Amino acid sequence: MEEQKLTKSRHKKNKHTDDLIDHYWGSIDYVSGLIKASEIKAGLILSFYGILLNFTYNYLETVLAEAANKPFLYILLAVWFLCTATSIYFSVRCFMPKIEAKYDKNIFFFGDVISKFGNVKEFSKTFHEISSDEDQLFDQLGQQIYIISKIASYKFSCVNKALRFLAIGLLLLIIIMGSYSILSA
């Protein structure tokens, strides 16, 4: 009877631990997906600029000829160019690797695995020890979730800035095209 209670208690604890591990890894997968999503959005912004800049390049000479007599168009073009360059800058920054190195060593961070745990055998032993101790394991997983969340937040911040400058640039482009149409008529 006592043995059955102990077995049930272990089963509940193991089931709870399994659920927690799934929860932690699910969180890591979710945040990793957010990082990928931010990079896809930045890529789409850059692709859009490829099309937009090709289009504007074809009409640039005509607009610049008209702007020679109208400094207002030059100013609008300069501001549009700055918005476009800034948006592209933030889109590219989203792709830049962002490694957070000011934290404790972590068995789930690839940089630490190869640089802070010794050779392959030492790492394997440490990995097993930490994985066998629930408190250490959940601490390491929790730290990893925090660090990759910070990276995801940074990348989405870059995408948001790129989108804002894209919107301002598109508005300016509409104003430029409207001004050009009015001035050339």
98-104-108 Cα angle (round to 5): 65
164 inside domain: yes
pLDDT at 10: 47
Would 125 be classed as within a structural domain? yes
Write the pLDDT tens digit of every residue in 38-54.
999 999 999 999 999 88
pLDDT of residue 62: 73
Look up residue 153 and give its DSSP letter. Answer: H
State the Cα–Cα distance between residues 112 and 99, nearest whole angstrom.
Answer: 11
| Distance separating alpha carbons of residues 124 and 117, to the nearest angstrom | 9
- What is the token pair recorded at 136? 């250490």
Quick check: 151 and 98 in contact, CB under 8 A?
yes
Domain assignment present for residue 7? The answer is no
Q: How many CB atoms lie within 10 A of CB 165?
A: 21
Residue 6 is assigned to a structural domain of this protein? no
How many CA atoms does the CB half-sphere of 85 hold within 13 Å?
6
Task: List, for residues 80-126, the tens digit of each pLDDT value.
Answer: 999 999 999 999 999 998 776 788 899 988 888 988 999 999 999 99
Helix (H) or strand (E) holding 21: helix 2-67
Q: Does residue 3 lie in a domain region?
A: no
State the pLDDT at residue 177: 84
At residue 11, does pLDDT exceed 50? no
Domain-embedded: residue 2: no
Residue type, 171: L
Looking at every residue in the chain, the average pLDDT score rounds to: 86
Q: Supply 147's token pair.
A: 């660090």
Q: How many domains does the chain have?
A: 1
Q: Which domain holds residue 178?
A: 12-184
3-state SS of 90-152 is HHHHHHCCCCCCCCCCCCCCHHHHHHCCCCHHHHHHHHHHHHHCHHHHHHHHHHHHHHHHHHH
Q: Establish if 100 belongs to a structural domain.
A: yes
Amino acid at site 138: F
| Closest-CA residue to 150 (of 89, 98, 109) | 98
Band of residue 57 on the pLDDT scale cut at 50, 70, 90: confident
pTM of the model as a whole: 0.79
CA 74/CA 169 separation, integer angstroms:
14
Domain annotation covers residue 58: yes
